[in-house]
């Protein structure tokens, strides 16, 4: 025993970027990705495309006017502001907030999840406990209470911080579970035997192999952030000094857009938010299908039909149930 066998450093199996990776993505992911890409593009160039200043009042207009050649999406009842311009400017801040929260929360989730799963022992016990406590804290009530502390003029940053602080736990839990299964694989053992440092194993062996899970967690968090921030802005809890999809809805609702029949005013931001949300859900479906081949659409395969495939032994990752708002 205890004869140290000289091991040649084994290059661990890193995910190889296959050729035509984009083309091999499931259709749902392609559609979702394209729509999201369009929104990101709009977030960047939208403000320059806006035909009017979203705050400018149209002289001589008091009531909301329906879509016309001058105002493609109509005007608001607040002195006839241009709805299209508000949308082009507002989409940017909503997308920006979503991506920012997604990034912060995912970094937190990866940090906590990988550390807990990889180190194990008491570190794992403590971190899992914290994660689970954050999972059961009722997020929306807490968000409303916490955002009540900030003055209305403080911009998007407090919202982003509070949303990230309450949104990382689910991702951390899923990533920890995945790290637990990766930890005992041969290529990690090989890396450890060849004397790689812990941080190197984590950064270059563990994290790259969880990249699809991390991506799915990121997309899920962005969806949560967008839906929550739009809802919070709509009820007037978070900042409504700038334009976003939520603040557009807030002003429409507070000026009784429904009752006066100005549908273009509230339907426009609502549909914009819904399509953005759908693109994220489609992306996540795509990630699910990549991870779980059985979900892939292989045409008609009925339970009573005879065209059954033998069940494949792929382990099934439990589905992520989006926290309902």
Partner 1 sequence: MPFIVRRLGFYVVAAWVAITVTFFIPRALPGNAVTSMLGSMQNLQPQALHALEVEFGSHAKGSLIHQYFVYLGNLLHGNLGTSTVYQPASVASILEQKVPWTLALVGTATVIAFVLGTLLGVLAAWRRGGWLDRSLPGFTFLQATPYFFLALLIIELFSLTWHLFPFASGFALGLTPGWNWTFISSAIDHSVLPALTIVITSMAGWMLQMRNVMITTIGEDYVLAAQAKGLSSRRVVFTYAARNAIIPNIAGFALAIGFVIAGAIVMEIVFSYPGVGLLLFNSVTSNDYPLVQGIFLVISFAVLLACLLADLVYVVADPRARRRTAY
Least distance (Å) from partner 1 to the CB of residue 88?
19
Least distance (Å) from partner 1 to the CB of residue 268?
11
Task: Give the residue from 134, 218, 121 showing the smallest Cα distance to 175.
Answer: 218
**Can you give the binding site for partner 1, defined by CB under 8 A?**
28, 125, 128-129, 132-133, 136-138, 140-142, 144-145, 148-149, 173, 180, 223, 227, 230-231, 234-235, 237, 249, 253, 258-259, 261, 263, 266-267, 270, 273-274, 276-278, 280-282, 285, 288, 292, 294-295, 297, 299-304, 308-309, 311-312, 316, 318-319, 321-322, 324-325
Least distance (Å) from partner 1 to the CB of residue 316?
5
Distances (CA, A) of 154 to 160, 222, 225: 11, 22, 18
Tokens 């557009």 belong to 248
Distances (CA, A) of 118 to 60, 110, 121, 125, 252: 66, 11, 9, 12, 50
CA atoms within 13 A on the CB side of 255: 21
Cβ distance to partner 1 smaller for residue 195 or 315: 315
Cβ distance to partner 1 smaller for residue 78 or 135: 135
State the CB neighbour count (10 A cutoff) for residue 182: 18
Least distance (Å) from partner 1 to the CB of residue 217?
17
Cβ distance to partner 1 smaller for residue 103 or 281: 281
Backbone angles phi, psi at 82, to 5 degrees: -80, 120
Least distance (Å) from partner 1 to the CB of residue 52?
24
Cα(102)–Cα(64) distance, rounded to whole angstroms? 36
User: Which pair of tokens denotes residue 22?
Assistant: 């984009």
Cβ distance to partner 1 smaller for residue 135 or 215: 135
Cβ distance to partner 1 smaller for residue 104 or 226: 226
């Amino acid at each position: 025993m205890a004869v140290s066998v000289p091991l040649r450093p084994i290059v661990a199996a890193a995910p190889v970027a296959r050729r035509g990776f984009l083309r091999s993505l499931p259709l749902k992911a392609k559609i979702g990705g394209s729509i999201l890409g369009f929104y990101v593009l709009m977030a960047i160039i939208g403000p320059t495309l806006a035909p009017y200043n979203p705050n400018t009042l149209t002289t001589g207009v008091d009531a909301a006017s329906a879509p016309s050649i001058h105002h493609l999406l109509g005007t608001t009842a607040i002195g006839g502001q241009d709805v299209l311009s508000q949308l082009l400017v507002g989409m940017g801040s909503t997308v920006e907030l979503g991506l920012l929260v997604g990034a912060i929360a995912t970094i937190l989730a990866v940090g906590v999840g990988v550390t807990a799963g990889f180190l194990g022992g008491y570190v794992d016990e403590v971190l899992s406990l914290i994660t689970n406590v954050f999972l059961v804290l009722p997020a929306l009530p807490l968000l409303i209470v916490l955002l009540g502390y900030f003055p209305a003029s403080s911009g998007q940053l407090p919202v982003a911080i509070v949303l990230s602080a309450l949104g990382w736990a689910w991702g951390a839990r899923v990533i920890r579970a995945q790290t637990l299964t990766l930890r005992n694989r041969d290529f990690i053992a090989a890396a450890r035997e060849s004397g790689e440092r812990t941080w190197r194993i984590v950064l270059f062996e563990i994290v790259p192999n969880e990249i699809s899970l991390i991506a799915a967690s990121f997309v899920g968090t962005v969806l949560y952030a967008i839906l929550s921030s739009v809802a919070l802005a709509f009820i007037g809890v978070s900042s409504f000094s700038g334009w976003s999809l939520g603040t557009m809805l807030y002003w429409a609702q507070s000026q009784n857009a429904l009752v006066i029949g100005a549908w273009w005013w509230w339907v426009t931001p609502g549909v914009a938010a819904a399509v953005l949300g759908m693109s994220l859900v489609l992306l996540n479906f795509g990630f699910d299908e990549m991870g779980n081949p059985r979900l892939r659409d292989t045409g008609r395969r009925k339970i009573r039909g005879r065209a059954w495939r033998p069940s494949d032994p792929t382990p099934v990752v439990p589905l992520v149930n989006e926290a309902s708002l």
